[in-house]
Chains A and B, each alone.
Chain A
């Protein structure tokens, strides 16, 4: 199963992996908010904020190169929009950076700031997801009030995505092996349609069998779960460190770097 990239890191062990999923989730959201609160043109301050996700990744045994590559892969949408900025804001800006000084436009600065924020928030999200098993994340969200129907749905979806993506991959490979040239819009659509139809039938039949499996094990519409999530001492320590770091960044470092 090749798609379990992020998944496989979640099953390693490290001090970060052992933290409670709820604490990590809340910390991720809060930190993201504070990153978004940074000024629209602040660039170098982002590196200070980047220390936090960097630390989580490194302590969590997640390879940084993998993270950077992954961020690049998901960046096209925002990169395109960010790169549009210099066209629309040409107000000149002079920058002093240590012994260097040069001029650029505010558009470029904002572009750099957006991309920088994107990198930091993405790195943080990847840190969360690669150090926390999805089932634990789901349990955290359930404990924090997510409706049972949605929790069940997310569980099923997660479970069957890999099954279906694999099937789609096999089909795509089969198509690649036999389709030697562009077939014209009608044939292309028809082929795609046939593949989609076949996938759909397979899904519906699978759902029918899963339904049998659920009924055979006594399912009656009530979702029952037992997951014990207990806060340990290390979670409180983590929370304390996090609060300290956020306060430091927001009240000391951010104003200092204006």
Chain B
């Protein structure tokens, strides 16, 4: 998930949710973490990173390679709270050290890849395997848990993109693609996770007892449904609340009082647009203003609509001026670098 596919209110909302969620997870984790778990969390996180580098050719798709994500495995081995912390740290490091994901998209990425899959995966696994690690339960549990976890995370991405409205790919297309790809990913991940769990059970069983012990019986369905609904409602709701205040945000959403006869030029054929419009109409306090209306007002860059023969020149001037400024900055930097060397004692 990248910054640029999100609108500011969605980014802010998801960061808020992710931050709150993480803080709660950390508090919960402190109650159950033992000292030995701490280095294990760090090293297992690094392991997941390194394991993601071990790619293998997908059996059905020649030329593409797949790799593990690891959220469900971490949740099973470490418990959901510690697992969520480790996955969050992986997401953060991916952003800061490898620039794989934008700063403002961290909220979404943490929700999609760290918080949702670990908890959902954990509880679904528990549902199938009970508290033990019998072979059948472990395999079915892993596969189902990974598929559900991956799909849940994959589901959120198009929703976040759609609510932001930056991307024009139709919601349904994006959704189906994501769900389809992650079904395959989830299946493979489930199998690999099961292999790893079996290997661990044979070689280092004491690692596994830590994660599965001591969690009370929770209604799995309730957890699942609640998580999804909360994410949806909060994400959509926050963006609507925020965008009902046009001054704060995108100038493009503002009403155009100078052109009272303005109407949307052509109904955009994108379904996400239509869906967003309907959402806006139903929940927005100002139902007659549509998100997409002003998109068509802004169809020109450097604005013929503002009129005048000089219109196109503002952007020209802007570009030219920027390049000039950059050259000046470059020159200053070079001078600063060379100055100490050239300072000769009198």
Interface on A for B, CB 8 Å cutoff?
A: 6-7, 15, 28-29, 32-33, 36-37, 39-45, 47-48, 50-51, 54-55, 58-59, 61, 70-71, 74, 77-78, 81-82, 84-85, 88-89, 91-101, 106-107, 109-110, 114, 117-118, 121-122, 125-126, 129, 134, 137, 147-150, 152-161, 163-165, 167-169, 171-172, 182, 185, 188-189, 191-193, 195-197, 199-201, 203-204, 206-208, 210-211, 214-215, 219-221, 253, 255-258
Contact = CB atoms under 8 A, between A and B. Distances in A.
A192 B49 CA distance: 15
B4 A78 contact: yes
A91 B296 contact: yes
Nearest to B310: A96
A203 B93 CA distance: 18
A182 to B, nearest CB: 7
A152 B196 CA distance: 26
Given A36-B8, A95-B302, A157-B46, A200 B200 contact: yes
B239 interface: no
B221 interface: no
A44 B51 contact: no
Interface in B22-80: 22-23, 26-27, 29-30, 33, 35-36, 38-47, 49-51, 53-57, 59, 68
- Which size class do B's interface residues fall under? 35 or more
B238 interface: no
A97 B315 contact: yes
Main secondary structure of the interface of A (DSSP, over half): helix
Given A36-B104, A39-B250, A125-B99, A45 B43 contact: no
Contacts, number: 323
Interface stretch (B121-129, B225-233, B274-282, B317-325): B317-325
Contacts of B23: 147
Contact of A125 (B102, B304, B314, B330): B102
Nearest to A214: B39
